[in-house]
Every structure is written in C-alpha cells, then in structure tokens.
Chain A
Amino acid sequence: MNEPTAAPAPIVVVDTLSKRFGELTAVDGVSFTVAAGEIFGFLGPNGAGKTTTIKILATLLRATSGRATIAGFDVTREPRRVRESIGLVFQDNSLDDRLTAWENLYIHALLYDLPRAAFLARAENLLRLVDLWDRRDAQVRVYSGGMRRRLEIARGLLHRPKVFFLDEPTLGLDPQTRNAVWQHVRALRDANQVTVFMTTHYMDEAENCNRIAIIDRGSIVALGTPEELKRRVGGDVLVVDAADRPALAAAVAARYGVAVQVAGDGVRFEVDHGPSFVPRLTADFPEVILSVAVHRPTLDDVFLKLTGRAIRDQENSPLDAFRGHVRAFRNRRS
C-alpha cells in the first residue's frame, strides 16, 4: 500500500478489522492508517462496507475481529475516550427538527461538556462559517437539505474533534449544494486542524481527498492519492459502442493486444494516446462502430478496472430507497 513518505504519526490505525453479520461479511480484514490533518476517503458502492467501518470506528458497532485505534485510544476498550476525540456527520440526518439550530448546538455542547463561554463563541463562529447565523432561531424542520447538512457539519465540529467522520456527506444534495458543502468542509478543516475521514460513492467527490481507499465487498482493493490511483489506468480510456459488443471486444483485443472490458456503456480499453487512436480504430472497423468516446482516466475507470464493475451498477437496497423517500419528503417541506 502507498503510504505518504515522512508523514506525521497516524491518528487512525486500523488493523485487519472484520465485521460479520451472521453469514454476511460486511468488512473483511481491512487495514489502513490515516495521517493527522489528512482528508481520507472511502470510495465504493453501496453495501461495500464503508458505513460499517465508520460505525466500528465511532464505537457504534463492535468489530468481530481485528482492532482499531483513534488518537491512540482503542475503539473497543476505551469507547468514551474515542467518542471525545471524534465528530460525526451521519448519512441520515441526526438533528432534532423540532428544535432550532441554536438549540441543537446547545444540546451538543451539553453532551460534550463544553464550557459555556467556549460554546457561545464557537457556535457563533461556526454558524457564520456555514452561513446559518441569521437562521439560528428557526426550527430545523424548515431548513433545506443543504442547510441541515451544513448545520450538522458545524455541530460535529463544535467540540473540536481530532477526527471528523463524514458518512456520505452530500448524499441526496444537488450538485451546487454539494460544492457549497465541500467548500465549507475544507474551510472548516483549515480553521480547526482536524483530520477528515469520509465515505462516498461519488467519484468527483473523492477527488477532494488527499488519499482514497477504494473498497469493494468489504475489502480495500486499492489505496493511494487520486493521481496515483488514476495512473493505474494507463493512458486514455476509450469506450466504443457497437451492435454486437462481445464480437467487437474480441476483435479489438485480437487486433491491438489490449485488455478489454464489456461494460454497460460499451467496450472499454486503454491506449496511450486516445485522440490519435480514434481514426485508426474507425478505419479498422468500418460500419461496426456506432460511437467512440475518449476520456482521461477517472476514478470510475479505476474502480471498473479493479473490480470489473461500475460503481453505479450497484442496486440501491430497499432501505436506501426508503431513506431516499424520507429525505425527499423532508426536503419538500422546506
């Protein structure tokens, strides 16, 4: 695995962590470390084990085997010390929507035993940073999805955690709001010197991370900076569509000696320089090719190459669908 050289001491250490639910192995011997101050991302489809890992690290679930420490505290043996050291934003909203933003922060400050003066100063500072200061006395139920998420992020940082967990922080938000949330996360990280540990199944979002672990079916299949990971896909990616994709795939493989994959959008393979390869390709396969697309490698391509599946192929579970409805319902009222 790629560890950054001369990195500061790791603040999260995970060692062959596993979690089984009956027959199902949700997390399967995962090991990694996160350096202090880093933005570290877990990238993978739904059901890959991202949330389960976060829940174990946040002391909400007990690991079946393996161990993990946060800021030097063992998540199983010293859960209270771990809880003091972390902040969390969950996939599902965990605000009380009948209370105001200010009251939600006040309860958080009480739960974390913050001195009153520190609470007052910091709550104002954070609410201004996430642009909610003017709306602090409104009940959360009138907030939009983006406002709620921003408030949760502010609340999670109120007690100055050392490690800040964000589980799918922008799920269900529109692209503009997602960008805004990310700006806030980065600004807040810079102001608070906190280590960020996030999960996502959005590729573009993962690009915000210093390092990414690609996780699939409970195991880490690759770990590195976004650039390192993308270099695993050599050159450019070509996606060629034809009426008979398997036949085209076989022909392309035989002619150019490249590894091909038949994916949902066509036959995919890599070449050193895509744009200049296209004329040759169309000349070699006249009348067969319906379309050609060329792009620089993305994390999508990395995932596809490593697992043989696209992240978006994964079906949502019924619970996810239900959550989506709840979210839609809540957001509609705003």
Chain B
Amino acid sequence: MTAEPAADRPRPRAGLRFRAVAKGVYAIWYRETRRFVRDRSRWLGLVTQPLLYLMLVGYGISSSMTFRRLPADSSINYVTFMYPGIVGMSVLFTSIFSAVSIIWDREFGFLKEVLVAPLPRWAAAAGKALGIMTIVALQTAVLLAMSPLAHVPLGLWMALKTLGVASLVGFVLGAFGIAVASRMTSFESFQLIMNLVTMPMFFLSGALYPLRGLPPWLNFLAHVDPLTYGVDALRNAIYADNEAARLLVQYPLVFDIGVLAAIAAVFAALAGWLFETQE
C-alpha cells in the first residue's frame, strides 16, 4: 500500500473538470436509485396508493357522475379522466418525498459526506434530481401497466410520451423539493411542506376535477400550480388517440412542455444555488 504512486491521490486540478463533476453526479444518482430499488415498502406503496385512489375514489365517483361536454356514447368515464391525474399524483408525492429526504440526510449524517467532497455542491443536487427522474420513470412504467383498469388503451408511442412527460414533471418537482429541503433543518418542517405545499398542489392541479368554470381565485391558483401543466401534459400524452377524451385537455402538449421546461430551468437554478450555499 505504501508503494502506490502519487497518481492515486485525487488528481490535482486547477479548475473544474468535467469528468470529476460527471462522476459526482453519477455517484448521487447511483445512491438514490440503489436505495429505491432496495426499499420494498416503497415499491408496495407505489403500487397500492394509486390503486387505492383509482378504485375507491375513481370507481365510486364515476358511478354517479358524467361529463357534460362529452358525447353520450363516448367510453370516457370518471376513472378514465382521473387516471392521468393519478399518474401526476404519484409523480408529485414520489418526487417531493425523495427530495426532502435531504432533511433526513442532514439529520443522520450522509449529507456531510457529500458536502465535504471536493465537488461543486450543485453537482450533488443535479444527481439527486436525475435520480428522482429515474425513480419517477420506473414508477410511471408500473402505473402504465395498470392502465387497462382505467379503460385506457396502452400503446407504445403513448407509453413513451407518458414516460417522457412524467420524467420532466419529476425533474421540475424534484428540483422544487431540493430547493425547499436545502434550507430546512427539522422533521417538523417536513410535515409542514407536505400539508401546506404538496396537498394543495395536488388538489389544484386538475387531477381530480376538470379546471373549467372555476371561481376566479381558484382558477388563478390552479394556473400558478406547476403540476397543472404536468397533469395536462400527461392527459395529452395518455389520451393521444382518443378524440372524445381530448376535450378534457386544456392546452396543446407543446405548450405544456414549454411551460414545464421553463419552470424546470428556474427551479434547477434555484435548487443548485440554494444547495450550493447551505452551511
């Protein structure tokens, strides 16, 4: 061990080196996904929670409700309407939950290992956001397998679009969660985020009801909610081939994605900066 050459120390570097940063991003991505794959309870929750909403809420409401705008013979019922919303909900909960695990990492130590590494901290934030994207994509694939339960026909192109949109939404919400969590130091604040941010985001997003004919204040809040564009983009992707269902969509897919990409850029910059400058 003593005779190893000096080249085995971390390579000296004057400025930022791309490879070192890329390896750091990969390290955090690796950790995030490895933890997820190993955690059986999260897999269980990932399958049962959407199923619960779809069956107990979706089927219950659909038996007593129809959509006024749709042709009477259309195959669209409430469960079909709700399905993209449930995908959006899963993306929301998973990405916020994964992001605020930074608070756990701070309390129980692992964050220090990251903060003292000779690496710009935004690289760690980026790895975390990419890890969340990956987990969200895996989860969405599981949900797509359940789509027949919601009378949504599964197609390859539709599945690919859905996975892409879900990953983008996961990145947006993950970056948002990282930005918030990098300034939070207690478990209590985690509860606060869940109650004050996540639940309203879900309810306002149009996941459970169409955002039409709302009172102005509610309409305003719904359109400030980033998840609104996420759920709309998911509807665009999932209803791709169903003309009747397209009436339930608000904006063209390109518009939704444009809004999401803009929010992603802002949140990513914010998350990187807040994570970089924490003590």
Contact = CB atoms under 8 A, between A and B. Distances in A.
Given A92-B109, A98-B39, A191 B8 contact: no
Q: How large is the interface on B (under 10, 10 to 19, 20 to 34, 35 or more residues)?
A: 35 or more
A110 B117 CA distance: 10
Contact of B109 (A61, A94, A103, A192): A94
A122 B8 contact: yes
Contact of B9 (A59, A80, A94, A159): A159
B116 interface: yes
Contacts of A191: 1-2
Interface in A111-135: 111-115, 118, 121-122, 125
Nearest to A139: B38
Given A113-B20, A114-B8, A160-B8, A122 B108 contact: no
A58 B112 CA distance: 10
Contacts of A58: 116
20 contacts: A62-B279, A81-B118, A83-B118, A88-B116, A92-B108, A92-B112, A93-B108, A95-B110, A98-B39, A99-B31, A99-B34, A103-B34, A111-B27, A113-B10, A113-B118, A114-B10, A115-B7, A122-B4, A159-B9, A160-B8
A86 interface: yes
B30 to A, nearest CB: 7
A93 B116 contact: no
Interface in B94-108: 108
A283 to B, nearest CB: 58
Contact of A118 (B4, B35, B117, B120): B4
Contact of A60 (B9, B11, B108, B112): B112
Given A92-B109, A107-B30, 4 more contacts: A59-B116, A81-B118, A94-B109, A98-B38
Contacts of A320: none
A112 B19 CA distance: 11
Contacts of B109: 90, 92-95
B183 interface: no
Interface residues of A, number: 40
Contacts of B188: none
Among A86, A114, A191, max chain B CB count under 10 A is at A114
B24 interface: yes
A59 B116 CA distance: 7
Among B2, B38, B111, B112, max chain A CB count under 10 A is at B112
Contacts of A80: 118-120
B10 A110 contact: no
A96 interface: yes
B9 A86 contact: no
A88 B30 CA distance: 22
B115 interface: yes
B112 A115 contact: no
A303 B136 CA distance: 56
A217 B26 CA distance: 42
Contacts of B34: 99, 103
A102 B50 CA distance: 35
Interface in B14-69: 17, 19-20, 23-24, 26-28, 30-31, 34-35, 38-39
A177 interface: no
B261 interface: no
Among A80, A86, A88, max chain B CB count under 10 A is at A80
B20 A96 contact: no
Contacts of B4: 118, 121-122
A110 B26 contact: yes
A36 B109 CA distance: 29
A182 B273 CA distance: 40
A94 B107 CA distance: 10
